[in-house]
A and B are shown apart, each in its own frame.
Chain A
């Protein structure tokens, strides 16, 4: 990933808290391809109906997004060129190029190729991701056919430019703001930018092994993008269920919030203000811990409070429970657990959550230092 001194000063200009280095993502694509919509739906919880009325973007909009790593996402007008961008392509870690799936004409492909060629000259490490967007508009067969055609055309044009591009690592994703395919695609984009990803994956693997969980995700709660998952393959239906579960929990919170002046809950510590107590990492082998929830760590009088939830599915045996545990103010661990484990060995689960949370917190600190450190 590139990071030059100019790069830092550009960020500082656009944001008063300029002391951290943000990883930059450029959103490109022809007019009305859906760039602004997808950004707004992901990061501002935009209601879909409102996306319908979006005005064309006239100037580059630079958005600061704080997830597991600090991001700066540039939403560009459709007619932008390498020259009018006003920044060097060397500043960006990733370029996301959005193409309307029904747009099989030359224009978007030429534009994409133009940017690839220019970017490779100044920044050979840059990631290029193509979102073949609005995919829900087409029936399954047409969808795959158009996807294939767009892929083929881009590669043909690239090879025309130079045979060297034959090996160019270009990733194509089918996306739509109307389902969770957009979140899944953006997760994959983000994974390439998180240097600590292997450590997060390790933590998730250990959690899964200790709790007999077939799948666990670390989600950014508001955007519902998963920041990491254990190394078992992601099943799309499971991923969608987790996204829907998060949406539901996000909506429930404010719905029953007390508006009383002296709500007893508001006085309680939230993870945003109190760091969790230090836990001794549990050795993965010791699976016999069955202490009652929270007991070993609760330091009186006020244990820090971390929101959690669980939903049990399928009344038939063995049954699955989908758990949610907030681990930092913005990240939550979502795991599928056998209901028997959740009900009978609750202590074990809680203990592993504490251990996981501690691990994430340590990684988070390192990431924070990293993004702060590189600018000094």
Chain B
């Protein structure tokens, strides 16, 4: 199954940077060497095995934008699953950015009515921390207004912290059919392990694809162990960030990261391969449970999850 993802936004807003970090494991420090993208760079990334993301990284210089909106219009805006529009938080040409953005929305409504739209207020690291919240709030308001009737999801992001992973996890989640079913089975698995939480990551990007906790407000499920332990709300994206960074360190030594087990003062956890395309993190707070037992449980769950993953991808065509 293929899903087309459009990456749009003004030149220099950071599209290629985030793509190279999420999908090619490049460190943030190397993004400054990227040149402007000429026309459209298409990339096929295999995500979860059978799902193929067809990324269209669209160079944002005016001449290219004009051509996307005119001569290339039907090619660009047809069959789009998701459009991600990136706005540089410090853009000096917000009026122009918004104009192009509205034109793109129009293109979408013409050729891909059901596409999901995500807006990223990017490079927020450039705003002083004290002012960040107000600046972002103002931007969000501005962008929602510019979007009119189109439902959009806005995230503030930076390549220098975990916010990028949060936004992208949310984006890919809309592309995974049956993510809810995965979540249900993770919950059963968590119970079997006596785990507080189980988190499933895609193997190459380490984006979160499903968790055992209820996605909705935790108040609705007071018996949910995660709610009980009141875990850090940023843990998913921080975990993606930490593991990605460690994978980079390993590759510098020409080693490849494979698995991790921790018995720390705060918790016990195992991070290991679940299926060919996923990694699972099992977090336990019960001090009696040892990593060996968790490993055994993961081993026994593998087959089931291979099947589930196969099913979920085939079921929706």
Which residues of A does B touch, CB under 8 Å?
Answer: 49, 237-238, 240-241, 244-245, 248-249, 251-260, 263-265, 268, 270, 305, 307-315, 319-320
Distance of A2 from chain B, by nearest CB (Å): 39
For the complex, give the distance between the alpha carbons of A260 and B267 in Å. 13
How many residues in B have their beta carbons less than 8 Å from beta carbons of A? 39
Distance of A243 from chain B, by nearest CB (Å): 9
Is B256 located at the chain interface by the 8 A CB criterion? yes
Known contacts A240-B252, A260-B229, A313-B257: A307-B242 contact under CB 8 Å:
no
In the bound complex, do residue A258 and residue B229 qualify as a contact, i.e. CB atoms below 8 Å apart? Answer: yes
For the complex, give the distance between the alpha carbons of A158 and B125 in Å. 46
Selected from A244, A256, A307, the residue in CB contact (under 8 A) with B231 is: A256
Q: Which residues of A contact B249 (CB under 8 A)?
A: 240-241, 244-245
A-B contact pairs, 18 of them (CB 8 A): A240-B252, A241-B252, A249-B264, A252-B262, A256-B231, A256-B266, A256-B269, A257-B231, A258-B229, A307-B262, A307-B263, A311-B258, A311-B259, A311-B261, A312-B258, A312-B259, A313-B256, A320-B255
Q: Pick from B160, B246, B269, B286 the residue with the most CB of A within 10 Å.
A: B246
Which residues of B does A touch, CB under 8 Å?
Answer: 125, 160, 196-197, 228-232, 234-235, 238-239, 242-243, 245-246, 249-250, 252-253, 255-267, 269, 283, 285-287
For the complex, give the distance between the alpha carbons of A311 and B250 in Å. 11
Besides A257-B232, A258-B229, 6 new A-B residue pairs in contact (Cβ under 8 A), listed by A number: A238-B253, A256-B269, A264-B286, A309-B262, A311-B259, A312-B260
In the bound complex, do residue B259 and residue A255 qualify as a contact, i.e. CB atoms below 8 Å apart? Answer: no
In the bound complex, do residue B260 and residue A311 qualify as a contact, i.e. CB atoms below 8 Å apart? Answer: yes
In the bound complex, do residue A249 and residue B259 qualify as a contact, i.e. CB atoms below 8 Å apart? Answer: no
Q: Which residues of B contact A307 (CB under 8 A)?
A: 262-265
In the bound complex, do residue A255 and residue B239 qualify as a contact, i.e. CB atoms below 8 Å apart? Answer: yes
Distance of A295 from chain B, by nearest CB (Å): 13
Q: Which residues of A contact B264 (CB under 8 A)?
A: 249, 252-253, 307, 309
For the complex, give the distance between the alpha carbons of A240 and B249 in Å. 8
Selected from B125, B250, B287, the residue in CB contact (under 8 A) with A313 is: B250
In the bound complex, do residue A310 and residue B260 qualify as a contact, i.e. CB atoms below 8 Å apart? Answer: yes
Distance of B196 from chain A, by nearest CB (Å): 7
In the bound complex, do residue B287 and residue A255 qualify as a contact, i.e. CB atoms below 8 Å apart? Answer: no
Distance of A260 from chain B, by nearest CB (Å): 5
Distance of B165 from chain A, by nearest CB (Å): 13
In the bound complex, do residue B283 and residue A248 qualify as a contact, i.e. CB atoms below 8 Å apart? Answer: no
Distance of B19 from chain A, by nearest CB (Å): 24
The 6 closest A-B pairs by CB, nearest first: A259-B230, A244-B249, A313-B255, A258-B229, A257-B266, A309-B262
In the bound complex, do residue B231 and residue A314 qualify as a contact, i.e. CB atoms below 8 Å apart? Answer: no
Distance of B169 from chain A, by nearest CB (Å): 16
- Chain B at the A interface: mostly helix, strand, loop or mixed? mixed
Q: Which residues of A contact B239 (CB under 8 A)?
A: 252, 255
Selected from B245, B255, B285, the residue in CB contact (under 8 A) with A314 is: B255
In the bound complex, do residue A258 and residue B196 qualify as a contact, i.e. CB atoms below 8 Å apart? Answer: yes
Q: Pick from A253, A264, A311, A314 the residue with the most CB of B within 10 Å.
A: A311
For the complex, give the distance between the alpha carbons of A333 and B287 in Å. 22
In the bound complex, do residue B265 and residue A309 qualify as a contact, i.e. CB atoms below 8 Å apart? Answer: no
Q: Which residue of A lies closest to B264 (CB)?
A: A307
In the bound complex, do residue A259 and residue B231 qualify as a contact, i.e. CB atoms below 8 Å apart? Answer: yes
Distance of B299 from chain A, by nearest CB (Å): 14
Q: Pick from A259, A260, A305 the residue with the most CB of B within 10 Å.
A: A260
In the bound complex, do residue B260 and residue A309 qualify as a contact, i.e. CB atoms below 8 Å apart? Answer: yes
Distance of A266 from chain B, by nearest CB (Å): 9
Distance of A50 from chain B, by nearest CB (Å): 10
Distance of A332 from chain B, by nearest CB (Å): 11
Q: Which residues of B contact A312 (CB under 8 A)?
A: 258-260
In the bound complex, do residue A314 and residue B266 qualify as a contact, i.e. CB atoms below 8 Å apart? Answer: no
Selected from A248, A258, A260, A264, the residue in CB contact (under 8 A) with B245 is: A248
Distance of B3 from chain A, by nearest CB (Å): 29
Q: Which residues of B contact A319 (CB under 8 A)?
A: 258
In the bound complex, do residue A258 and residue B231 qualify as a contact, i.e. CB atoms below 8 Å apart? Answer: yes
In the bound complex, do residue A314 and residue B258 qualify as a contact, i.e. CB atoms below 8 Å apart? Answer: yes
For the complex, give the distance between the alpha carbons of A251 and B243 in Å. 11
Q: Which residues of B contact A240 (CB under 8 A)?
A: 249, 252-253
Selected from B160, B267, B269, the residue in CB contact (under 8 A) with A265 is: B267
For the complex, give the distance between the alpha carbons of A245 and B285 in Å. 22
Q: Which residue of A lies closest to B285 (CB)?
A: A258
Q: Which residue of B lies closest to A258 (CB)?
A: B229
For the complex, give the distance between the alpha carbons of A86 and B136 in Å. 49
Selected from B125, B232, B253, B257, the residue in CB contact (under 8 A) with A256 is: B232
Distance of B25 from chain A, by nearest CB (Å): 15
Selected from B160, B238, B253, the residue in CB contact (under 8 A) with A237 is: B253
For the complex, give the distance between the alpha carbons of A244 and B263 in Å. 18
For the complex, give the distance between the alpha carbons of A49 and B262 in Å. 29
In the bound complex, do residue B267 and residue A257 qualify as a contact, i.e. CB atoms below 8 Å apart? Answer: yes
Known contacts A265-B266, A308-B263, A309-B263: A255-B235 contact under CB 8 Å:
yes
Q: Which residues of B contact A310 (CB under 8 A)?
A: 260-261
In the bound complex, do residue B246 and residue A305 qualify as a contact, i.e. CB atoms below 8 Å apart? Answer: no
For the complex, give the distance between the alpha carbons of A255 and B197 in Å. 13
Q: Which residue of A lies closest to B227 (CB)?
A: A260
Distance of B27 from chain A, by nearest CB (Å): 12
In the bound complex, do residue B250 and residue A254 qualify as a contact, i.e. CB atoms below 8 Å apart? Answer: no
Q: Which residues of A contact B286 (CB under 8 A)?
A: 264
In the bound complex, do residue A256 and residue B235 qualify as a contact, i.e. CB atoms below 8 Å apart? Answer: yes
Q: Which residue of B lies closest to A270 (CB)?
A: B265
For the complex, give the distance between the alpha carbons of A306 and B232 in Å. 24
For the complex, give the distance between the alpha carbons of A248 and B258 in Å. 15
Known contacts A260-B230, A265-B267: A244-B256 contact under CB 8 Å:
no
Q: Which residue of A lies closest to B160 (CB)?
A: A49
Q: Pick from B232, B249, B255 the residue with the most CB of A within 10 Å.
A: B255
Q: Pick from A241, A251, A257, A264 the residue with the most CB of B within 10 Å.
A: A257
Q: Which residues of B contact A254 (CB under 8 A)?
A: 232, 266
Q: Which residue of A lies closest to B228 (CB)?
A: A260
Distance of A204 from chain B, by nearest CB (Å): 20
In the bound complex, do residue A258 and residue B256 qualify as a contact, i.e. CB atoms below 8 Å apart? Answer: no
Q: Which residues of A contact B245 (CB under 8 A)?
A: 244, 248
Distance of B238 from chain A, by nearest CB (Å): 6
Q: Which residues of A contact B258 (CB under 8 A)?
A: 311-315, 319
Q: Which residue of B lies closest to A316 (CB)?
A: B256
Q: Which residues of A contact B266 (CB under 8 A)?
A: 253-254, 256-258, 265
